[in-house]
Amino acid sequence: MKKVLSVCAVLALALCCVFAQAVSEKSEEKTLTVYAYDTFCGDWGAAGAVIPAFEEATGIKVNLVDAGSSVEMINRVRIEGAKTECDVILGVSDDLASKAYDLLEPYKSSLVDTIRQDLIFDNEFRLTPYDWGTFAFCYDAKADIELPTSLMDLTKDQYKDKVVLIDPRTSSVGVGLLMWTYNVLGDGWVDWWKTMTENALTTSAKWSAAYGLFTEGEAPIVISYTTSPVYHVMWEDETRYQALTFDEGHEVTIEGVGIVKGTQHRAEAEAFIDFLLTGAQIELANANSMYPVNSAIELPAAYDYAPVPEKVFRNTDEEASALVKLWEEKIVK
């Protein structure tokens, strides 16, 4: 009897949860289906601000689908093929772009002129850039270190065990770092990595763990984004974490949005992309910790702590793949 009761209790609780959600969901009239990667979605992601604003501004309902990582998102549209309900795919960065091009139909928005020109990575506009970031080393101003001014500086003895790197094999930030060293140092990247694997505290698998080590004070320098200090200023009123810009240039990552081939909602999709380039720009900066592509946008004060580097490098994903392979051979094999 006790068992029956406990089973009933569990089931009742279960049903309550499910129906509470089902009721709140209602049966919305779905018009535009947007696939986005996981960190964009959810109440903590930029979606929490951007999507309701878009719905209000245009009256178009959005069905936002959390499709996992960017790669999973592209794979999913590919698997679904012609049957896909996806109208817009959001968050394909330039280093994955060529994996998605064949799934998309071009759309050259009338707003492309507002986009900073060197960020446009697809001249056919299958993917339109909406925000971007640059990789940079961040440091803890409360740690007693001399600030490095170049990548080569980091290989010095004084930074022994003071830097946390990220592995290019398991993280796009790692890939960014690798490309950066290649663009700045040319063939010297091999020696840089060889020295740094010894000099760095560790080479983490993921950005999350690397940045966690950094904020826990394990190392005063970490590879991250120039925009990383913004969160600490905005939400913690903390200015100790700052980004380093090197004159030799920085690697960028640009996030793009595209319309999926064969969509039934072309007009709504275009409206969505246009919105991303206008009304959403400031929200993207706030919630996504990225720079808006429209340089005219006035950024929140916290962005004073997110220096925009003068010189930036952009690459194709083919170059990146080849370089990761080389890295593997030279550094670990």
For other proteins, the closer of residues 7 and 147 by Cβ is: 7
Q: How far is the CB of 328 from other proteins (least distance, A)?
A: 8
What is the smallest separation between the CB atom of 92 and other proteins, expressed in angstroms?
12
CB closer to other proteins, 15 vs 149: 15
Are 222 and 210 in contact by the 8 Å Cβ rule? The answer is yes
Instruction: Report the nearest approach of other proteins to the CB of residue 154 (Å).
Output: 16
Dig out the tokens for 226 from the structure.
Answer: 């120039």
CA-CA distance, 86 to 65, in Å (whole number)? Answer: 9
Q: Residue 139: helix, strand or coil by DSSP? A: strand
Q: Which residue from 279, 167, 273, 261 is spatially nearest to 223, judged by alpha carbons? A: 167
Could you tell me if 224 and 138 are in contact, meaning their C-beta atoms sit under 8 angstroms apart?
yes
N-to-C CA span, the chain: 62
CA distance 110 to 10: 55
Nearer to other proteins, 107 or 139 (CB): 139
Tokens (6 digits) for 163 = 């830097």
Minimum CB distance to other proteins, residue 117 (Å): 28
The minimum distance between CB 85 and other proteins, in angstroms, equals: 7
Compare residues 118 and 238 and give the one whose CB is closer to other proteins.
238
Q: Which of 310, 292, 221 is nearest to 255 (CA)?
A: 292
Cβ proximity to other proteins, 114 vs 215, nearer residue: 215
